[in-house]
Amino acid sequence: MNRSRNVGFGKNGGGFDRLYFLAGTVLILSLLFVACKGEENLTPEQKLEAKGKGIYVANCTACHNQNPKLDGPIGPSVANSSLELLKIRVREGGYPEGYTPKRNSKLMTKFPFGDEEISALEAFLKK
């Protein structure tokens, strides 16, 4: 009579696969809860900066540096850019009247961002 117990995984695995699945599910749900909870603690300014960072990373880092304080391969440093400059440069590809650019370039891609996106971008760049 063989009384050895099968403790492996699978169909005759003694239920350990279910235990690991349940433990993994609980862990993932806990991490999601903590991640979502952290966003509630942000101030409106921090939320605006976070949105601006997302816009910057998704749209600007191909030409500008990942760090907006540094020059990029094509575009210059954009840290501390004014709202007026951002609106004209981002939407039209131009410069405000009387503005002297760091690099006088016609390569700037135009983006159809609204005032909210431009304000978020400014908040991130002034951080």
Residues 35-51 pLDDT 10s: 665 567 899 999 999 99
In the chain, % helix, strand, coil (3-state, to 5) comes to 50, 0, 50
Residues 100-110 pLDDT 10s: 998 878 889 99
Residue in the block written with tokens 């999601």:
32
Domain shared by 20 and 69, yes or no: no
Domain shared by 63 and 90, yes or no: yes
Closest CA to 75 of 115, 111, 106: 106
Of all helices (H) and strands (E), which one includes residue 96? none
Closest CA to 121 of 48, 43, 44: 48
When pLDDT is averaged across residues 50-59 and rounded to a whole number, the result is 98
Domain shared by 72 and 112, yes or no: yes
Domain shared by 85 and 31, yes or no: no
- Residue 19: phi and psi, rounded to 5, are -65, -45
Range of the domain at 98: 44-125
CATH of the domain at 89: 1.10.760.10
Say if residue 22's pLDDT is above 70. no
